[in-house]
Amino acid sequence: MEKPETAENLAQLITRLKDEYQVNESEIARRIGVAPSTVNSWVHSQRGAARGPRPDKLRALAEAYPKFTVAEVFEAAGRKVPGPLSPDAEERLLELFRGLTEEQQRIKELELRALNDYNRSGQ
């Protein structure tokens, strides 16, 4: 099945994925580590009506079904694609975070949450 030329939402992408891989929502859920009701809610929710899937679950969907790229899955979910994070970069960031005071850590966490919320909004 070919990728549609118009932007598709996550429900449409999952429908296309089910056809391409001959799987059902329960199998998708099992492969990405969520409840079948979670996948069902993605299929039956309006785009942007809820917070939608977490980035790790969107990545898991692309990894489990490689005919669908990470960028394609994130776009369908109305999200910006997070940048790559190597283990070295993650360790460096964690080390920097550990050097902050408790108050500074709370502030940085709030800032990061705000950035993530902005990315989830599809802006």
Q: pLDDT by residue (tens digit) across 34-85?
A: 999 999 999 987 544 456 788 889 999 999 999 999 999 999 998 888 888 8
CATH code of the domain made up of 10-76: 1.10.260.40
Per-residue pLDDT, 110: 96
pLDDT at 67: 97
Helix H, strand E, coil C: the string for the chain is: CCCCCCCCCHHHHHHHHHHHHCCCHHHHHHHHCCCHHHHHHHHHCCCCCCCCCCHHHHHHHHHHCCCCCHHHHHHHCCCCCCCCCCHHHHHHHHHHHHCCCHHHHHHHHHHHHHHHHHHHCCC
pLDDT computed for residue 3 by the predictor:
53
pTM: 0.71
pLDDT for 105 beyond 90 = yes
Q: Which one has a higher pLDDT value, 51 or 27?
A: 27
